[in-house]
Amino acid sequence: MNLILLGAPGAGKGTQAEVICNALNIPAISTGNIIREALKNGTETGLKAKSYMDEGKLVPDEVVIDIIKERLTKDDCQNGFILDGFPRTVPQAEALDKMGVKIDKVIEIYVADETIQKRLSGRRVCEKCGASYHTEFKPSKAEGICDVCNASTVIRKDDEPATVLARLNVYHEQTAPLKGYYENQGKLVTVEGQEEVAETSKLTLKAIEA
Ligand code: AP5
């Protein structure tokens, strides 16, 4: 099954992508994670993306489209995949269609902007393996230390309050129009993000099975 997860920054796409990945045994592909990894490794893509990302802006379409084109050719995508954070603009969705990639369902995770600001201010990520935590909703066992690899957990640079606001504006202007795009294709299903991650996961898996 080929799926897209749509939603504002901090709506819980990454969290749900991990749940679906485990439940359906298909890879979760996050353009955000791929770009952050490129940045860490100082590659050309990483350098091109840095200033945009730090300001909460979208990285240019051609950069992310190339990333996805390459990633989808990998063997692990043959039985399906979950796209987390791609497409983010109508031209990116059109590029996916032009590549001949058939999408079965688009799951929108809806969460109000005020809740998002609270969620992102508490998010901590492992600087080594990227595992994600929340100071209130999903704390690591020892404060500031990753449960998976024992490295330090840090605040993501683009989770600073002013940058979160910029990311929300970009979402409403450039990404939200994708809802209409996929509604017209009869593929959009909306899941209301719940206070408990497990509750949202139940609704997400139900939406995929329906
Ligand atoms: P990206 O990494 O994709 O960031 P994002 O979409 O802003 O998404 P986030 O990772 O912030 O949030 P999420 O929805 O995955 O939420 P999460 O599950 O972590 O992109 C970063 C940047 O890269 C972009 O700004 C852009 O510059 C660039 N980029 C990437 N893709 C691009 C593209 N296609 N085109 C152009 N540029 C691109 O949850 C958030 C927090 O809430 C966590 O702490 C979590 O524990 C908590 N939480 C989750 N669910 C719940 C719940 N149900 N109850 C309580 N807490 C919860």
State how far the Cα of 155 lies from the Cα of 124, in Å rounded to an integer.
5
- Out of 29, 107, 119, 172, mutate this one to test ligand 1's pocket (max ligand atoms within 8 Å of CB): namely 119
The encoded tokens of residue 103 equal: 């999408």
> Could you tell me if residue 119 is inside a domain?
no
Ligand 1 atom closest to the Cα of residue 36 is 23
Rounded distance between C-alpha atoms, residue 85 and residue 29, angstroms? 8
Average pLDDT over residues 61-76: 95
Mean pLDDT of 137-150: 95
Pairing of strands 28-30, 123-126: unpaired
Out of 116-120, 174-178, 202-206, pick the least confident: 116-120
User: Mean pLDDT throughout 152-171?
Assistant: 94
Neighbouring CB atoms inside 10 A of 22's CB total 11
Query: Which residues fall within 8 angstroms of residue 52, CB to CB, at 6 or more apart?
Result: 58, 59, 60
pLDDT at 154: 95
Tell me, yes or no, whether 194 lies in a domain: yes
Angle at 161 (CA atoms; ends 148, 64), nearest 5 degrees: 65
Residue 5 tokens, joined: 């997860």
In a domain, 68, yes or no: no
The CA–CA distances, whole Å, from 199 to 16, 79, 110, 208 equal 11, 27, 13, 15
Tell me if 128 is assigned to some domain.
no
Cβ–Cβ contacts within 10 Å for residue 109, how many? 24
Domain containing residue 91: CATH number? 3.40.50.300
Assigned domain for 120 exists? no
- The string of DSSP letters for 103-123 reads P-EEEEEE--HHHHHHHHHHE
Give the binding-site residues of ligand 1, using a 6 Å CB cut-off. 7, 9-15, 30-32, 35, 52-53, 56-59, 64, 85-86, 88, 92, 119, 123, 132, 134, 137-138, 158, 167, 193-197, 200
In the predicted structure, residue 185 carries a pLDDT above the cut 90: yes
Indicate if the pLDDT at residue 157 is higher than 90: no
The residue contributing the CA closest to ligand 1 atom 20 is: 32
Inform me whether the pLDDT recorded for 203 exceeds 90. Answer: yes
Whether 177 is covered by a domain: the verdict is: yes
Total of domains in the chain: 1
Please state, as a whole number, how many other Cβ atoms lie within 10 Å of the Cβ of residue 122.
15
Mean of the pLDDT values across residues 62-67?
94
The span from the CA of 183 to the CA of 159, in Å, is: 30
Asked if residue 153 belongs to a domain, the reply is no
**Residue 58 contacts by C-beta under 8 Å, 6 or more apart in sequence?**
52, 88, 89, 170, 174
Residue ranges making up the domain that contains 91: 2-26+79-112+163-209
Residue 199 CA: nearest ligand 1 atom is 53
Give 176's pLDDT tier (boundaries 50, 70, 90): very high
- Inside any domain, residue 176: yes
pLDDT number for residue 100: 95
Ligand 1 pocket test: which of 70, 108, 134, 199 has the largest number of ligand atoms within 8 Å of its C-beta?
A: 134
Task: List active site positions.
Answer: 13, 88, 123, 156, 167
**Ligand 1 atom 34: residue of nearest CA:** 86
pTM, two decimal places: 0.92
The yes-or-no verdict on residue 206 having pLDDT over 90 is yes
pLDDT at 210 over 90: no
